Amino acid sequence: MTEFRLLETGFLDGFTNMAIDEAVMLGHKLEDAPTVRFYGWKPHAVSIGYFQGIGEEVDLPRAKELGADVVRRITGGGAVFHERELTYSFVCSEASKLVSKNIMESYEKICGAIVKGLDELGVEASFAPLNDIIVSGRKISGSAQTRRNGNVLQHGTLLLEVSVDKMFSLLKVPNEKMKGKIVQDVKQRVTSLEQETGREYSFLDVAEAMRKGFEKAFDAKVILGELSSEEKKLAKKIREKFASREWNFRR
């Protein structure tokens, strides 16, 4: 049975979180165990997609006021307010054939681990192309993927609890006059583990369920490991990019 490495890096700032994901992807070799990582955000943060305009998406003075990091991801997709959630990332070599070369199919495969993890918690979820997971028709998880150096990185969120009002105190909407309606729509379209089950979950309980989800989806053993010293060194260097104005304000 294939062995995957599990990284539990706890709650870190947004720049470090993004740097670790990139460092693991860039440093990965075909002979290395694929990596599953679970993490949270401290302080809470907004991440924006690679192609988004920072000024278009984020109320920057408000983010500063609330002490939220704002960081541009190396992956596409939309702006995310990271607060009460479990974030996952997965890295493997394209040559490992664990996921398809076809991007749509590979999203489904990796998101399948989260769907199976939710099943562990008694929540019936399904994959909704391109990059979402839904429960009772509402989004509970969103993911984004990139490929560099022959490796695949997919990271995504799983909402433990969601405050749409707080989210939109930081995120901008395309039409300010329509904000009330947009916020109402998002409330209808988004859900969280707690909303679905009426239960409170600890980060670690959810992480354990997701670990099992990856084991089932990939028929693998997911075993706790740690970052290598090379990965730590690389992540420290890459963090400088994510914390830089040049990177975050490039669009």
Residues of this chain that interact with another protein (CB under 8 A) are 49-53, 56, 74-79, 103-104, 130-131, 144-148, 174-175, 251
Give yes or no for a cis peptide into 43 (omega within 30° of 0): yes
- Min. distance of Cβ 58 from another protein in angstroms? 13
Task: Report residue 102 as tokens.
Answer: 């076809």
> How far is the C-alpha of 93 from the C-alpha of 106, rounded, in Å?
12
- Min. distance of Cβ 30 from another protein in angstroms? 20
Residue with smaller CB distance to another protein, 60 or 130: 130
Query: What type of residue sits at position 240?
Result: E
Please answer whether residues 73 and 18 qualify as being in contact, where contact means their C-beta atoms are separated by less than 8 angstroms: yes
CA distances from 190 to 38, 202, 227 (A): 21, 20, 33
Residue with smaller CB distance to another protein, 149 or 163: 149
Residue with smaller CB distance to another protein, 78 or 225: 78
Please answer whether residues 158 and 233 qualify as being in contact, where contact means their C-beta atoms are separated by less than 8 angstroms: no
Residue with smaller CB distance to another protein, 79 or 217: 79
- Min. distance of Cβ 47 from another protein in angstroms? 12
Query: What type of residue sits at position 13?
Result: D
- Min. distance of Cβ 219 from another protein in angstroms? 27
Q: Is the dihedral of CA 21, 241, 40, 166 positive or negative?
A: negative
- Min. distance of Cβ 45 from another protein in angstroms? 17
Residue with smaller CB distance to another protein, 54 or 86: 54
